[in-house]
Amino acid sequence: MERVERVLLHVLSVVWPASDCAGPPLRFQIGQRFRPQVVEVRADLNARTNIRIINGSDGAPAFVVIPYADYMAQHEEERDLTPHEVISATVDGATPLRAWREHLKLTQADIAARPGISQSAYAQQERSEKLRKSTREKIAAALGITAAQLDF
């Protein structure tokens, strides 16, 4: 859960040793006046960070490496989205099954071969406005999408 913390920064005088920070040490004159600032920090302070940053030859960050499970969790929602082209085709009168097949640039024979049915049997299913749940699941698996993406 995201927590918002307000941090009151009031710096009077400070000298940061170079070993405590990544950048050059910050040096302030003793007695130098600073205005207090309110800074809003938004972060999940309880989350573990399993990321690794790989710097390029110039020293600037070039890549971020995260665990595969974290990556999949972040992109889980995207897998269930339906592309605009598929929605447009259904608005124009195509069935969801036909719209997906055309979007993926596959032929009826290509898809029919995956679950092991004939092309004519697949064509009959493609013309159907409403598919049975078991049929929808098998064809969705053959297309590499979720069954819910065929049910709209």
Phi, psi of 14 (to 5 degrees): -155, 145
- Are residues 57 and 70 located together in one domain of the fold? yes
Q: Which residue has the higher pLDDT, 14 or 134?
A: 134
End-to-end CA distance of the chain: 33
Task: Say yes or no: 13 and 26 in one domain.
Answer: yes
What average pLDDT does the structure give for the chain? Answer: 75
Q: Based on the fold, state whether residues 135 and 89 are members of the same structural domain.
A: yes
SS3 116: coil
Residue whose pair of structure tokens reads 């640039």 in the numeric block: 105
Percent of the residues in the chain that have a pLDDT greater than 70, as a whole number: 66
Same domain (yes/no): 3, 55: no
Are 85 and 136 part of one and the same domain? Answer: yes
| Whether residue 1 has pLDDT greater than 80 | no
119 in the same domain as 98:
yes
Domain of residue 75, residue span: 48-79
Q: How many domains does the chain have?
A: 3
Q: Are residues 89 and 140 in the same domain?
A: yes
Q: The whole model's pTM is what? A: 0.52
Give 114's Cβ-side CA count (13 Å radius).
Answer: 16
SS3 7: strand
Region of poorest pLDDT, from 1-15, 22-36, 81-95, 138-152:
1-15
Residue 35: pLDDT over 60: no
DSSP notation for 39-64: EEEEE-TT-----EEEE-TTSSEEEE
Tell me whether strands 61-65 and 37-43 are parallel, antiparallel or unpaired.
unpaired
Q: What percent of the chain has pLDDT over 90?
A: 37
pLDDT at residue 81 greater than cutoff 60 = yes
Residues 52 and 42 placed together within one structural domain of the fold: no
- Tell me: do 8 and 29 sit in the same domain: yes
- Residue 33 CA to residue 11 CA, distance in Å, equals 8
25 and 8 share a domain?
A: yes
